[in-house]
Structure 1
């Protein structure tokens, strides 16, 4: 049976600047990589050299049939020092946008995808009361220069991720464990080293991933609101939103309360933040199941991804439905993907995910597009280069791109706006 998507539905893929551009030496993540005792599996280095090869890469995406490209602008490149803007960096991103239009790709821009300039750490990072004004000032410069070229923008990627990561991060020393007073907590040596490389004291070193308490979440909400106001003032036609990472939170008997609490933690507490936005960016990879004693491990027979969570593409449609019950905004799937060396499983992940998405559209849910994560195999933060999320493989010795079957599959769907 052929499934036909709406005429104006947008299919494409996504990247993040830090993960693909390479040599982002002014970023806080660069400091974390270089820190003594760093928990990062690899150093990003040249990454996949997308900062140099973006035109070839965009032409390749278009040749596959993709219709949109989501990428991020790197704040640390645009504003390498407070109030000092790089004309060469803004010219670069202007040409990235131009290349998208030349090849018929709709650009979707993220103003912030996890990485930040090192200099904001000297001001207290994402716990600084100055952060709303600083980020708004950065958005003002970018939109004065590029606003007319940007039809869709995410102020932030995955604003709820830090709350999801807090337990994991407490184990590797990024944040204090729950119940431990921050003032009495000693940061690990690698984190002290990263702070020093940013020119900051350890207590000033608050990266985006550490936004997980009431004060910093409040600052983030204010920052998004100010940025949205700035962007709309300068470029009223630009559609503004943000994205959230949302697993399909399920329960078995006795786990309903825990599942409800988890959904409130990762979604409910952030709902007020999107009031006034033009669309909602939804990002999904798997499900989480809760029982009376907490999260239930996947069955021994369950297929796991390289990231060690459950392979469960059916989650996408279910999360879209759950979000649509609360929000009346148009939904844009801004990430959906799987880390695997078996590209046949990626094809199946896309197929089942899009089947669920199509059923949501048939039910009347306003879904505007689907952007697969990721365009390329790239630097997966502290996991390094071992995680294979890409539609396109990259030989990092030669920077040669190799198109996978999954890229051709998604491209064929994008070309016909339909799937079987």
Structure 2
């Protein structure tokens, strides 16, 4: 494989999914609400907050040169306007550990979870959220900016419209639409386990919490875009050398006969409508897991007989190549910030990576400007509403002992990274 010099090879995590005990966040509160639609609480998660040094050393040992992780807003600003020096110094240590081990940090400043106090104010429907978010980003970058070469403001800024489509799609044959966002789907019981269905467990529209994942309204989507642009300016002011962008969840939208207009609508709502907010960004993070088939009434179920993952997604690694080619219309360099598969069969993860990277190489050969591939996820971690059942990790985690065990997929991808770094 031939990739550009300086290409980022790595894996990704999100703070709430791996750190453990994120007690000041809105999701922690939801997990512990009676009758919660979360399958289980996050608890200690992977205890990454304590074990980050050994985890970063392991990623470097496996052959990676980059690590994408998030800084948890609820830790840095546990109360409105009060910043935690201890939390900032913790993330300084995480960043320094990356540099010490030769890993380029790709930092995400918001990965789905927010401080409880923000949600109590109205969350991502609250008109003052952009300035609150920008103040947090500015504080972090004024302290840590020289250690942060890449900063993603918001993870999957377009997730609200995607989830809205899933929740409003008419059930067909009792199956959820293909390509539903992570943690909001009916799990395919591929391994014989009972399927989980968080979609059915979600509260009614009027009772849904005002958290980032459920920011569906036109006002809410506008606030997310404003938050990105305000944060970008705050980052630039504090750390001009840092490359700034955001990430989008981009499914490979494929219309069936009669579904062309619906497919155009979905692509417009989840990509084209966000392009104006990217004006002035340095890169776009692309996150792709599968394709979404679309009929005349909207998203369709996975085709009969298709291989599915633990999330109910169709096994379709070629989606990444197709999405990268379409995303070039944003006019920005691209970084694959997530691409992965929930499966208990690691040989299928190896095949998913192999096919995905073959498509990525074809895109790069054809001139698509891709600067990195960051696999989701580094570890088997907390998968939001579905708890710990889905396993996306390159590295297995025994949650009783917190012992880490690299899988064959980790060694396969790490070896590719090493070979390409030496090419």
Counterpart among 280, 287, 290 of residue 276 in structure 1: 280
Is 1:12 matched up with 2:15?
no
User: How many Å separate the matches in 2 of 1:126 and 1:296?
Assistant: 29
Shift of 1:371: 0.2
CA distance in 2, matches of 1:27, 1:288: 32
Moved more, 162-171 or 358-367: 162-171
Cα distance in 2 between the residues matched to 1:85 and 1:8: 35
The answer to whether the aligner puts 1:364 opposite 2:362 as a matched pair is: no
Matches within 5 A, 1:6-405: 6-168=4-166, 172=200, 185=206, 187=207, 205-324=209-328, 326-405=329-408
Within 2, Cα distance between the matches of 1:295 and 1:84? Answer: 44
Contact 1:166 1:175 (C-alpha < 8 Å) held by counterparts:
no
**Structure 1, residues 162-207: CA drift from partner, whole Å, max 9, x if none?**
1111244575575755xxxxxxx4x2xxx6xxxxxxxxxxxxx411
Distance in 1 separating the partners of 2:27 and 2:222: 23
Q: After alignment, is 247-256 or 162-171 more displaced?
A: 162-171
- Distance in 2, Cα, partners of 1:121 & 1:173: 21
1:386-419 CA deviation, whole Å, 9 max, x = no partner?
Answer: 0000000000000000110000011001101189
Determine helix, strand or coil for the equivalent of 1:417: helix
Pairs aligned (count)? 393
Deviation at 1:213, TM superposition (A): 1.3
Partner deviation per Cα, 1:295-333 (whole Å, 9 max, x = no partner):
332222210000001010011000000111x21100000
- Equivalent-residue separation in structure 2 for 1:418 and 1:141 (angstroms): 34
Q: CA deviation at 1:385?
A: 0.1
**Separation in 1 of the partners of 2:7 and 2:297?**
42
- Tell me how large the CA RMSD over aligned residues is: 1.6
Distance in 1 of aligned mates of 2:167 and 2:256:
27
Q: Is the 2:37–2:201 Cα contact (8 Å) retained in structure 1? A: no
- In the alignment, the residues of structure 1 paired with residue 16 and residue 91 of structure 2 have an alpha-carbon distance, to the nearest angstrom, of 14
Contact 1:70 1:108 in 2 (8 A): yes
Which stretches of structure 1, 4 residues or longer, exceed 4 Å deviation after superposition?
167-177
Tell me the distance in 2 between the aligned counterparts of 1:175 and 1:269: 28
Q: Which residue of 1 aligns with 2:420?
A: 417
User: How far apart are the structure 1 equivalents of 2:65 and 2:354?
Assistant: 18
Conservation of the 8 A alpha-carbon contact between 1:169 and 1:175:
no
Question: Alpha-carbon deviation of 1:37?
Answer: 0.2
1:140-178: CA deviation from partner (whole Å, max 9, x where unpaired): 11011100100000000001111111244575575755x
Structure 1 unaligned residues grouped into runs of 5+: 178-184, 192-204
CA distance in 2, matches of 1:217, 1:167: 14
TM-score by length of 2: 0.90
Contact 2:157 2:225 in 1 (8 A): no
Answer with 286-295 or 242-251: which moved more.
286-295
TM superposition shift of 1:346: 0.3
Check 1:175–1:274 CA distance in 2 against 1; reply closer, same or farther (3 A cut): farther
CA contact under 8 A between 1:4 and 1:418: conserved in structure 2? no
How far apart, in 2, do the equivalents of 1:28 and 1:176 lie? 18
Measured in 2, the distance between the counterparts of 1:349 and 1:131 equals 38
